[in-house]
Structure 1
Amino acid sequence: MSDIASIASGAAHFEPAEKPPTPSALSNALVFGWRAVLKFRHVPEQLFDLIMTPIMFTLLFTFVFGGALAGSPGEYLQFFLPGILVQTVVFNAVYSGMGLSTDLGKGLFDRFRSLPIWSLAPFAGLVVGDVIRHVIAGAIILSIGLILGYRPEAGVPGVLGAFALLVAVGFGMGWIFIVLGLIISTPMTVMTIGFTFLFPLVFASNIMVDPATMPGWLRAFVEVNPVSLMATAIRGLMNGTATASEVALALIAPAVLTLVLAPVTLWLYRRK
């Protein structure tokens, strides 16, 4: 009884603690972004795809097609490398939908919905993970290009500007596959549909060849292809010849996709 009395008297001196402040939307997004980074350790095949695919594309196209298309691999590399940066970022965006579809299938988002967090935090985390993947893949490609002899005429400022545009492109394209991940329950189906949609846009563009050599009907499509507009702007930034209109045209598709699909993403998430 004396022990109980002493505990009761001691409890009288305790003051109620203040409730911790609610985490901000930015804090929520960064936590989920860190979760996306940790996935590289737990899902190493994603890191393998991230590293090996850009390297294989850069080496194969430069040395297999470079001489035939531009006279020498070195000259072709000056044209091709900015374009392969765009291709890599666009392809990497597919992993957002695959990861989301996987998490939904495991019931993780049901747990997230029960937490007192910003409703879009899980998607913001996916976007943060995408940005990190884009920067890593871009740095790998640029490093390989520099080793092979690529030289950005605009120097460091041009490269930084090109990478900023790449991040914006990846941000906008990622919403397409986040929506697919919410609609489709199988990650492999998300990947299949994603690449089926992307292949015509990427390969019918000016990433690998000058559209001046194409038939008129195909050239007309290539010149208005959003991927071509992105590649043209990246080339201009890295070569120091970019105009404000080229950059603006490259940003139209990412901006429209974000404005249209971000609200759709939130609606689908709440509907589920």
Structure 2
Amino acid sequence: MNATRAARHGVTLGWRNIAKFRHTPDQLLDILLMPITFVVMFVFLFGNAVSGDWHAYLRFVIPGIAVQALMFAMLGGALALNADMREGIHDRFRSLPIARSAPLVGHILGDCLKYVLSVVLVFAFGAALGFRFGGGALAVAGAAGLLMAFALATCWIGVLIGVAARNAETVQALSLVLIFPLTFGSNVFVPAEKLPGWLQAWVRINPVSQVTDAVRALTLGLPAGGSVPASLLWSAGIAAVFAPAAVLLYRRRG
């Protein structure tokens, strides 16, 4: 009964966050513009240098940019949560007869819209440039599921940062310190074998690389190897560590 009640409260607050986007659509500008900017910048500036042909590079980089877009969407969610806490909205939530975890669950459910928009936009813009899915419908659905699982896991990192930080500047600093090594120190933009040997070891165990490999294989119809189970394990591990930590810190701040 308590779990059902908490889920109902979380869904209600999740709808609140979605309603905020309708009234302040400018909150979605970074989600809409960032993926397009990265696709244009990397495909046309570095495509010929990396793959010899930007059309070939487009097939390589689009799945990776989808993963990267989710990481930057996490930053936006952390900033929104931090702003709500600094403005006292969550103090009001604590005075209501709702589950203590409901505000965080609602925040994450509301952010799911951002994650879906980011992924759809990356692949839609990629398709406009010539990207084509090589896998079947089931494989593409599996890739979408992996992306959402990874997004829901990493968003707990954003929740923890949003709760812990005292201001927006700290949220941005902590998030970027995390996002840049994970995304640019991966195989999102360059194949691991083209990187220096000392960097390849990190790239191969990087969770962003694992998810990118899995999504790339599923969307292009290539052998996935062990990247799919590795992606699921990383998602489960990240959620198992950061979700309890975020909820505990949120309760202590109350």
TM-score range, shorter chain: over 0.9
Match of 2:98?
117
**Cross-structure match for 2:67:** 86
TM alignment of 1:64-83, pairs within 5 A: 64-83=45-64
Percent identity over the alignment? 38
Alpha-carbon contact 1:172-1:258 (below 8 Å) kept:
yes
2:213·2:224 contact (CA, 8 Å) conserved in 1? no
Question: Does the alignment pair 1:133 with 2:114?
Answer: yes
Of 258-267 and 138-147, more deviation after overlay is shown by 258-267
Asked if residue 194 in structure 1 is aligned to residue 187 in structure 2, the reply is no
Superposed CA deviations along residues 212-237 of structure 1, whole A, max 9, x for unmatched, are 11111011111111111110011111
1:262 corresponds to which residue? 243
Q: Give distance in 2, aligned partners of 1:262 and 1:242.
A: 32
The residue aligned with 2:131 is 150
- Alpha-carbon distance in structure 2 between the residues aligned to 1:66 and 1:79: 10
For the pair 1:215 / 2:208, whether they are aligned, the reply is no
Q: Distance in 1 between matches of 2:223 and 2:242?
A: 29
2:66 maps to a residue whose letter is L
SS at match of 2:98: coil
Cα deviation, residue 202, structure 1: 0.6
Residues 164-203 of structure 1 aligned to structure 2 (within 5 Å): 164-203=145-184
Q: Which of 212, 219, 228 matches 1:247?
A: 228
| Farther-moved stretch of structure 1 (237-246 vs 225-234) | 237-246
When Rg is computed on C-alpha atoms for both structures, the one with the higher figure is 1
Does the aligned pair in 2 maintain the 1:153–1:238 contact within 8 Å? yes
Aligned-residue offset at 1:189: 1.6
Q: Which runs of 5+ in 2 are unaligned?
A: none
- Residues in 1 aligned to 2:30 and 2:23: alpha-carbon distance in whole angstroms: 14
Look up the SS of the partner of 2:187 in the other structure.
Answer: coil
Q: Secondary structure at the match of 1:62?
A: helix
> Structure 1: how far apart are the matches of 2:39 and 2:145?
21
Report the counterpart of residue 232 of structure 1 in structure 2.
Answer: 213
TM-score, normalised relative to structure 2? 0.93
CA distance, structure 1, for counterparts of residue 113 and residue 216 of structure 2? 22
Q: What's the CA shift for 1:244?
A: 6.5
Shift of 1:183: 1.1
CA contact (8 A) 2:160 2:246 kept: yes
Aligned residue pair count? 251
Quote the residue 1:19 is aligned against: none
What amino acid is the match of 1:263?
Answer: P
Q: Is 1:99 aligned to residue 51 of structure 2?
A: no
